[in-house]
Amino acid sequence: MKRLRILGCAALLAGAAACSDPAPRTTGIIPAPRETTWLEGSFALPATLRYTTQFEPADAAELETWAAGRFDLHPAAAEAEAQLRLVQDPAVAAEGYRLRVDRRGIEIAAADAAGIFYGMQSLLEMADRFGGRIPAVEIADAPRFAWRGLMFDVSRHFRTKEFVMKQLDLMARHKLNRMHWHLTDAAGWRIAIDRYPELTEIAAWRPYPNWAAWSRGGARYCRRDDPEAHGGFYTKDDIREVVEYARQRHIEVIPEIEMPSHSEEVLAVYPALSCTGEPYTSSDFCVGSEATFEFLENVLDEVIALFPSEYVHIGGDEAPKTHWRTCPKCRERMRREGLKDVDELQSYLVRRIERYLNARGRRLIGWDEILEGGLAPDATVMSWRGVEGGIAAARSGHQAVMTPGSHCYLDHCQDDPSVEPPSAASFVSLADVYGYDPAPDSLGTDVQRMILGVQGNLWCEHVVTDDHFEHMLWPRGLAIAEVGWSDREKMDYDDFHARVLDAVERMRGAGYHPFDQKSAVGSRPESREAVECLSTGKPVTYLTAYNAGYAAAGDATMTDGLRGGWKFGDKRWQGWLNRNVDLVVDLGERQTIAYVGVDFIQAPAAEIYMPGSVELSLSDDNEHFTALATVAVDETLDPRKTAFQTFAWQGEAAGRYVRVTARIDTARGGWLFTDEAIVR
């Protein structure tokens, strides 16, 4: 495989002839080091950088291999001629390093090979910033968290091994050390299992070019040799190659095999493992059947043989459990095991699978739903539905990885959704990711010590192409890296943002397709300043009730002066489910008005749609209303994307009560979301 160069030798030597030392303000390193002390002078990188090492020869050989095309790195014949010294120092923290650059050369000290590797990454970052003359500096650095991860969903849209390894290069550069590989889900099974060939002959393929078309078309699979087949899978040799490539970059690959749900693809080809015995009828394995455990254990045996990781992820999320309630086998399992409900039945599966993994030297990790029905004794929780699951696990003595959707879901839109490519309906900016603290002091030390770290998740329902994947992942993945590595009290978003702009340019030069952070709009302009108008602070009568789950500020929402942002769940947008919006604003007295307007948001991925029309009307007595205007939806809006529309009237009229009536498309149903009634 041809490896993309992140840093060429020419870039390293570009400044070697400089006569004066640079005046550094920042190292440019992402993630930001723990301590940086600038010294006098600088070191000019030679064409060949000769080194000595106190580490194992195999570690040095791997470092040389990885540095190929970046540094021309060769062992020195004698200590005296070495310009780079790799020193083993057991006093340095795990994965940490001490980097010193002075006029004589470079020294990297670490307790382990990972620390040396990360010290080299920091040296590369500085070479990118300063060219061939590195300013004299001493850096003492170590990670805040042991788990600094990214999750790649290859089920919804398959990615080649070469593409995955390309992302591993960038992960390693920025000291991310866990790649969570979401290999199985309803949309496709992506790993060869010798004992069950139909998983990759059928369950890895669908007669549609993308997930959306497949989902709309009935979510059926096809054989690998079907002329319309789209999909793919990794052979065992592919898996071994990726795992080894990651290991050389000090990244642990965590496989995920979904259970007991998100398993439609398995049950389509092996329907006897479901409660119904029929394909395309269930997403849940039958937990009452011993055949289910025989299948799962056989699959796990082959997975364990491929992945040396400490953890195996079992999913465990979003199980409907519907058929379990009536399935004779499940009911008999519950009776025999003394399980009071289907949540405890899921816990039975999780505990049994954990024992199986533990007996083979592995640990179980799953999404926070594995808490339901009782957590398995040694299980680690990955908290995605907010932070509560991770905190609950930590308080009960279990380790947790924090990955809440509000800050760590990288499939969410990151800027103005009207111009961004398709995404999930929510919104997570670079600043949102950077602002997340996985283990704040408020949790207390007992909870903090159980939090392993942080992970960004890139789900790919809407992410079809490789370019789109990188657009969503980078540079937000850099924010995950800094949140996971750097000391919280020393983090500075403005400084980070400046470093990101440089990093984005380097990524582009190396063949990546990151989001153009330099041109980011940022928060929705309408949401940045409070509104002051005739309706501000006035009482509102709701003739149809808003949904309690999306109440925003309650009855004050529509006149509190706060307009919504890009994200419908930001507690400024108020939602109605399967009903019209109908409300009246009392201006307090009869007034002359010239404008009435109200915004609505469209987010099809969350079944949020524009109203068919909005009627604006006026009354003196709150009984007899005169229509000001009926405003139709803008037909130019792309119905597949998040969008915003202001429904407004302008003119001259007088009255006390302003009524807003937004009519839902009853045939389609779904949500209506609005944020503020503006009267001027």
Active site residues: 185, 262, 318
455 vs 453: CA distance, rounded Å = 7
Residue 467 backbone phi and psi in degrees, to 5: -60, -40
- More confidently predicted of 253 and 80: 253
580 vs 614: CA distance, rounded Å = 10
Say if residues 515 and 416 touch (Cβ distance below 8 Å): no
pLDDT score, position 20: 47
Express each pLDDT in 655-671 by its tens digit.
999 999 999 988 889 99
pLDDT score, position 24: 61
Reduce the DSSP state of residue 496 to 3 states and report it: helix
Query: Which phi-psi region, left, alpha or beta, contains residue 336 (left: φ > 0; alpha: ψ -120 to 50)?
Result: alpha
pLDDT score, position 68: 67
What CATH class has 147-519? alpha beta
Residue 643 backbone phi and psi in degrees, to 5: -155, 170
Residue type, 300: L
pLDDT score, position 605: 86
Express each pLDDT in 337-385 by its tens digit.
999 999 999 999 999 999 999 999 999 999 999 999 999 999 999 999 9
115 vs 95: CA distance, rounded Å = 4
Written as six digits, the tokens of 96 are 């940490």
Residue 539 backbone phi and psi in degrees, to 5: -70, 150
- Is it the case that residue 2 has pLDDT exceeding 60? no
- Is it the case that residue 67 has pLDDT exceeding 90? no
Assigned architecture for domain 525-679:
Sandwich (2.60)
Express each pLDDT in 564-573 by its tens digit.
999 999 999 9
Most distant CA atoms of the chain, gap in Å = 96
- More confidently predicted of 62 and 15: 62
147-161, 412-426, 544-558: least confidently modelled range: 412-426
Q: Which residue has the tokens 């970046």?
A: 70
Residue type, 219: A
For residue 428, what are the β-bridge partners? none
312 vs 376: CA distance, rounded Å = 14
Determine whether domain 9-141 maps to CATH 3.30.379.10.
yes
366 vs 353: CA distance, rounded Å = 11
Express each pLDDT in 527-552 by its tens digit.
999 999 999 999 999 999 999 999 99
- Is it the case that residue 17 has pLDDT exceeding 50? no
- Is it the case that residue 70 has pLDDT exceeding 80? no
CATH 2.60.120.260 domain span(s) along the chain: 525-679
pLDDT grade, residue 127 (50/70/90)?
very high
Written as six digits, the tokens of 404 are 């809440």
CATH 3.30.379.10 domain span(s) along the chain: 9-141
CATH 3.20.20.80 domain span(s) along the chain: 147-519
- Is it the case that residue 12 has pLDDT exceeding 70? no
97 vs 129: CA distance, rounded Å = 20
pLDDT grade, residue 386 (50/70/90)?
very high
Residue 446: burial class (beta carbons within 10 Å; 0-12, 13-18, 19+): exposed
User: Roughly what angle, to the nearest 10 degrees, separates helices 476-485 and 493-509?
Assistant: 130
Cβ-defined contacts of 288-294 (< 8 Å, 24+): 288/324, 288/327, 288/328, 288/329, 288/330, 288/331, 288/332, 288/333, 288/334, 289/329, 293/352
E strand residue ranges, 405-558: 412-413, 424-427, 451-458, 540-542
6 vs 623: CA distance, rounded Å = 69
